[in-house]
Structure formats: C-alpha cells, structure tokens
Amino acid sequence: MYDVSAVRNDFPILSRQVNGKPLVYLDNAATSQKPQSMIDALVDYYSRYNSNVHRGVHTLSMEATDAYELARQKIATFINAPSPDNLIFVRNTSEAINLVAYSWAAANLKKGDRVVSTEMEHHSNLVPWQHAVAEAGAELKLMKMAEDYSLDLSELDELLTPQTKLVAFTQMSNVLGTITPAKEIVAAAHRVGALALVDAAQSVPHIAVDVQDLDCDFLAFSGHKMAGPMGIGVLYVKSEVLEQMEPFLRGGEMVLEVTYEKATWADLPMKFEAGTPSVADSIGLGAAVDYLTALGMDNIRQHEVELTTYALERFKELEEVTTYGPTDMSIRGGVVSFTMGNVHPHDIGQVLDQAGVAIRTGHHCAMPLVRSRLHLPATARASFYLYNTEAEVDALIDGLKTTSRFFGDASSRRS
Amino acid sequence: MQAPDGLDDLYQDIILDHYRSPRNQGALEHPHLHGEGFNPFCGDQIHLTMTLGEDGRINGVGFVGQGCSISQASASMLSDQLKGKTLDEAEAFVRMFKGIMQGEEVSEELEEEIGEIASLQGVRQFPVRIKCALLGWTTLQDAIREYRETAS
C-alpha cells in the first residue's frame, strides 16, 4: 500500500479551502483531481516543445511527435493493448462511443439487427445507440438491474439472438458503483457473433483493466477521471475490427494521399485522428498513467475498497439515509449514491458545500436508471479516489448530520 | 434550528416555513390554465393549475411539486400572491421576480409590495440555485403563453 498523506501532497488542489473549510473532494466519478507531475507535463510541453505533430522536420515537431506517440505507448501498456496502434485519441468517452456508432455501427447495423445494452448506462453509452438503431431500423434491448443492484444476467441468453450485432455495456456504473462481469458478457456476445463494447469511463481509473484478458472489441474511457487532463479520451479497438472500419472524421492529418478528386487514408490509428490532435493533453494523460502505475492499480483498488467499506458502515449511523448499490464490495467501486428522507439532494449538496465537502447531486447523466429503476427524482453521490481519507468520510457524515438536523423537521412533515 | 454557518441568507425561516407547509397545494379540477415545469438538472417538478374569474382575474391557484426547498418554497410564495391578478399583471410579476434574481435592486417600496418573496433575495448569492427559485415562475409564464395561444 501507499502512504495516503504523502499522495495528497502530490495534488495541489487538495490543500485549498472552500468556504473557509479544507476541501473534501468527493465528486471523483465526475472528474478526478490532478497530480503536480501531470500538471508539469502540460506546462513543460507548452513551455519547451509546443509544436504540431506528424509533420515538420524541425526539432520541436519531432520532440512533440515522439512525446505524443510515447504517451500512446504508455496508455496502451496500461490497459495491456497489443499495440499502441489499437488506441485512438478522442476527446472523451462520449466521443469514443460516438465514433463507434458513426463508423462501425453505421456500416454494420442493418434492419432487424439488435444492439444490447444495460439499464445502468450513463447517457453516453445509451443515447448514441438509440440513434444508431433508429437510423438502421434495428432494435435496442437492455439487460436489467437486479434487486441487489448487480447486473441481471439471467436473461442474457434470450437477449443475445443471432441478430445481435453489438453488446455495449458499462464496466462500472457511475450511479451505483456496480462492477459488471465484463469478461463473461464479452464471451457471451462473441458466442452469438456479436461484438462487445466496454464503457470503461469509471473502471479504468479505479481497477486494473486488461483489454486482451477481457477480449473486448471496443473499450472507451476519459483521461480526466484518471488524474489526466480534460479534453482527452481513448478508444481502444481490436485490430481486426479496426482494420475494417471507415474513418469517422475526414480532413487533415488522417490522409495518405489527396488529389482534387479523392483521398486515401493514413495508417492506423491516424486514419481516425483527423485534424491537429490534443497533443499536450495526450502527453498529460501519459503522465497520469505513469502516476497511477507507480502507485499500482491494485493498491488504488484496495484503498478504495477499504474507504468505501468504511463509508458504508458510517452511513448506517444515519437512520434516514438510504444508500443504493451492491453490498458485496467485490462488485462495487468507490461510489455511494444516497438519499436522506425527503431532504432534496440539492439541499444536501448545498449544506455540504458550506462545510467544504463537494458531492454530486442529480441524476448523474443516467436519467432512466435514477427515475425509472430507482424511482427517485435525484440522488446525492459521494465518489472516492486514491487520495481520499477516512477523515474526509467523517467530514461527509458530520455534514449529513447537520443537514439532517436542519431539514429533519421539514422532511418529516412533508412525508 | 439555526441554519448551518453561511446559509442563513439562503435558508431563511420564512422559506423553510413555505417548504414545510406549502400553500395552495393540489391540482384544480377544471383549470383554465395549467403548466408543467421540470428542471432536469436537479429533478425539480412543478404542476401548476389556475382558474380565471369572469373579470379575467386569477381566482384559483393550485400547485403540486417535488424538489428542493428553494424551488418549492418559491412556488408556494408565488401561488400565494397570484389571486386577483390579471394575466398581464401576472406576467409583469414574473418579469419583476426574474429581474430581482438577475441582481436588480429591490427598493423599500417593492420589498413591501412583494412581502415574503423578498426573502428569496438571498438565493442570489448562490447562482446555481437561481434556477430552482425561478422554476414556479417560468412554469407560470409558460402556462399563460399556452393559454393565450390556445385562446387566440
């Protein structure tokens, strides 16, 4: 294990105050904070070798290109991709999934086909498929959430018909923290000849992910949730699938030869990276991956399991609080969604903010899950990362006790 | 109970009183106007119904909703002051409140006129909550617009 107090010193933002109180940042499922080494990588790039990549013979351009491709290599190693060429840099998970929807699905989904997803998706892995099936005349079917907030696989065999072309699912729910049996689902998809897409936005930052072990065809994640910068994300695509895919965006940087009439495409993965890429942010993500690797993903996971276990125990002190998510920590990440009597999450968030505690309130970009399955207008959510501490969980619980005392009366009279 | 430090402007007693015991609760059976307000950001909802007298003035108001204290208290305060207003006056009332939320000064005269609603001024220090405070009001505005469109 690592020393959490030493790790906290690596994150400059964690020493700031909010409303006169030390910041307690518990909104990590929305975005994580950044270590100084990552921030330095961005500053270093812009201070020393800012230049466009993959052109120019001048020194700066070569340095920038080398750093950009080294970052791709580091990230490929981090998820155990066979080659850096399997990785396409995008802006974020949503863009990665849209790339698959507009390139692969547009060419491969036909009338009568089926896409299977789950009830616990973030909008980013639901809305693109709603559109893709509508365009193709295909249908979208969903795996259900079970009573214990795990993913219900009992209907998987019926859902996976020979018409099923894609199974697109989250590896970790951003609302419930549920970790899904990704390897099993990928294997089931492959048995009926479907491809499998893993939304790894919440998993790659928190657990060790090995794309070759999962055997998935697509895997998408964002840099900013894993100590990297905003504006950079990754789509991993298995080689044999990637080779068959047509570009999604066309223009500069992605071409081999252009005449006034037509163009041929550059090699993979540049064929999918039209225009000047986000060079600094890619390098920043490489630095973030270095940071996570040095701590060790298994250590990070263990830290979050211990912290979440502690938090769930402390939540039990609050009678009027209901938490949502699996109780089995082997299938749960560091996410705790909760409600408190009839006190609206927005009011909870406001009182906590006054105490310096940052949580998320609302539907967490999973509106159908929160409203139609949990039957709630909104929830409050605390989500942890590698730098959070038990003392911060205590600050959260203290803040909730204050909230409860203050609104308690109101909540009982409205119920 | 005393509001948590720094929040006494936002959570004034009068606001909490409206939140705890919202006025004009319920949906009217044969409303002339009705509106649905929804704030997807936080899941706040307001269903507003109103009836008009022969003189064209609002003579019945009912609202049901769920949401945070600010959205529900603001809608409750609004519902309390609508009776007797013409639709033009109600619209002017909405414009006045939006102005306050956008930072317009509240004169002593106006403060007296709007009564309890003046307590919502504290919301301005919390910009994300302004939308909550406005929900009932924009719902009213939509209801009036829809009524006029159907009537014309």
Cβ <8 Å between A409 and B3: no
ipTM value of the model? 0.88
- The answer to whether residues A50 and A89 belong to one domain is yes
User: Is residue A213 scored above 60 in pLDDT?
Assistant: yes
- The answer to whether residues A220 and A289 belong to one domain is yes
CATH of the domain at A115: 3.40.640.10
User: Is residue A34 scored above 70 in pLDDT?
Assistant: yes
Cβ <8 Å between A407 and B41: no
At residue A143's C-alpha, the angle toward residues A76 and A215, to 5°, is 25
DSSP string, A109-165: --TT-EEEEETT--GGGTHHHHHHHHHHT-EEEEEPBPTTSSB--TTHHHH--TTEE
Residue where a domain terminates, one of A293, A313, A346: A293
- The answer to whether residues A307 and A364 belong to one domain is yes
Cβ <8 Å between A355 and B40: no
> How many CB atoms are located within 10 Å of the residue A408 CB?
17
Q: What is the pLDDT of residue A292?
A: 98
For an interface test with A, the pick among B2, B19, B47, B70 (most A C-beta atoms closer than 10 Å) comes out as B19
User: Is residue A274 scored above 50 in pLDDT?
Assistant: yes
Q: What is the pLDDT of residue B42?
A: 74
| Alpha helices by DSSP H, B1-152 | 13-20, 69-80, 87-101, 108-114, 127-151
Cα B140 to its chain centre, rounded Å, is: 8
Cβ-proximal residues to B33 (8 Å cutoff; 6+ apart), any chain: B48, B49, B50, B51, B52, B143, B144, B146, B147
Q: Which residues of A153-188 are buried (b: 16+ CB within 10 A; e: fewer)?
A: beebeebbeeebbbbbbbbbbbbbbbbbebbebbeb
Q: In this structure, is residue A161 part of a structural domain?
A: yes
Average pLDDT value for residue range A348-353:
96
Q: What is the pLDDT of residue A410?
A: 46
**Half-sphere CA count of A15, side-chain side, radius 13 A:** 10
Q: How far is A52 from chain B (nearest CA, A)?
A: 39
Within an 8 Å CB–CB cutoff, is residue B8 touching chain A? no
* Tokens of residue A185, six digits: 């689902």
- The answer to whether residues A276 and A178 belong to one domain is yes
- Say what percent of chain A tops pLDDT 90: 91
Cβ <8 Å between B43 and A371: yes
* Distance between CA atoms of residues A278 and A230, nearest Å: 10
Average pLDDT value for residue range A214-234:
98
Within an 8 Å CB–CB cutoff, is residue A350 touching chain B? yes
- The answer to whether residues A236 and A305 belong to one domain is no
| Strands, sheet with B58-66, edge to edge from the N-terminal-most edge strand | B33-39, B44-52, B58-66
Average pLDDT value for residue range A27-51:
98
Predicted confidence band of residue A409 (pLDDT cuts 50, 70, 90): low
Least confident of A287-301, B1-15, B20-34, B47-61: B1-15
Most distant CA atoms of chain A, gap in Å: 74
| Cβ neighbours of A344 in B, within 8 Å | 42, 44, 66-69
Question: CA A24 → CA A16, A252, A385, B88, distances in Å?
Answer: 9, 44, 12, 48
Least confident of A79-88, A165-174, B41-50: B41-50
A-facing residues of B in 67-86 (CB < 8 A) are 67-70
| Cβ neighbours of A378 in B, within 8 Å | 42-43
Q: In this structure, is residue A207 part of a structural domain?
A: yes
> How many CB atoms are located within 10 Å of the residue A338 CB?
21
In the residue annotation, A216 being an active-site residue is answered as no
- The answer to whether residues A358 and A231 belong to one domain is no
Q: Tokens 């609760």 sit at which residue?
A: B25
B-facing residues of A in 356-375 (CB < 8 A) are 361-363, 367, 370-371
- The answer to whether residues A16 and A43 belong to one domain is no
Residue where a domain terminates, one of A293, A327, A342: A293
Q: In this structure, is residue A31 part of a structural domain?
A: no
Q: In this structure, is residue A322 part of a structural domain?
A: yes
A21 SS3 class: strand
* Nearest in space to B62 (alpha carbons), one of B19, B23, B91: B23
- The answer to whether residues A215 and A304 belong to one domain is no
> How many CB atoms are located within 10 Å of the residue A314 CB?
17
* Tokens of residue B62, six digits: 């009912």
At residue A252's C-alpha, the angle toward residues A247 and A256, to 5°, is 70
Q: Which of A346, A354, A376 sits opposite B68 (nearest CB)?
A: A346
Q: What is the pLDDT of residue B1?
A: 67
Q: What is the pLDDT of residue B41?
A: 75
Q: Which residues of B23-33 are buried (b: 16+ CB within 10 A; e: fewer)?
A: bbeeebeebbb
CATH of the domain at A335: 3.90.1150.10
Within an 8 Å CB–CB cutoff, is residue A378 touching chain B? yes
What are A121-132's pLDDT values in tens digits? Answer: 999 999 999 999
User: Is residue B58 scored above 60 in pLDDT?
Assistant: yes
Angle at which helices A297-315 and A390-414 pack, to 10 degrees? 40
| Cβ neighbours of B19 in A, within 8 Å | 410, 414
Domain B13-151 has CATH 3.30.70.1140: no
- Say what percent of chain B tops pLDDT 90: 84
Q: In this structure, is residue A312 part of a structural domain?
A: yes
- The answer to whether residues A302 and A261 belong to one domain is no
What are A191-207's pLDDT values in tens digits? Answer: 999 999 999 999 999 99
Task: Indicate the average pLDDT of chain A.
Answer: 95
Q: In this structure, is residue A32 part of a structural domain?
A: no
* Distance between CA atoms of residues A363 and A337, nearest Å: 10
Pairing of strands A139-143, A114-118: parallel
Q: What is the dihedral of CA B105, B93, B144, B57, to 10 degrees?
A: 180
* Distance between CA atoms of residues B129 and B44, nearest Å: 11
Residue ranges per domain, chain B? 13-151
For residue A117, give its domain range: 38-293
What are A353-364's pLDDT values in tens digits? Answer: 999 999 999 888
Total residues belonging to chain A? 415
What are B123-139's pLDDT values in tens digits? Answer: 999 998 999 999 999 99
Q: What is the pLDDT of residue B152?
A: 72
Greater pLDDT, A99 or B2: A99
Within an 8 Å CB–CB cutoff, is residue A377 touching chain B? yes
- Say what percent of chain A tops pLDDT 70: 98
- Say what percent of chain B tops pLDDT 70: 99
Average pLDDT value for residue range B118-124:
94
Counted domains in chain A: 2
Cβ <8 Å between A406 and B3: yes
User: Is residue B37 scored above 60 in pLDDT?
Assistant: yes
Least confident of A102-116, A269-283, A341-355, B34-48: B34-48
| Cβ neighbours of B6 in A, within 8 Å | 19, 354
Average pLDDT value for residue range A5-26:
97
For an interface test with B, the pick among A18, A339, A350 (most B C-beta atoms closer than 10 Å) comes out as A350
* Tokens of residue A206, six digits: 């928190």
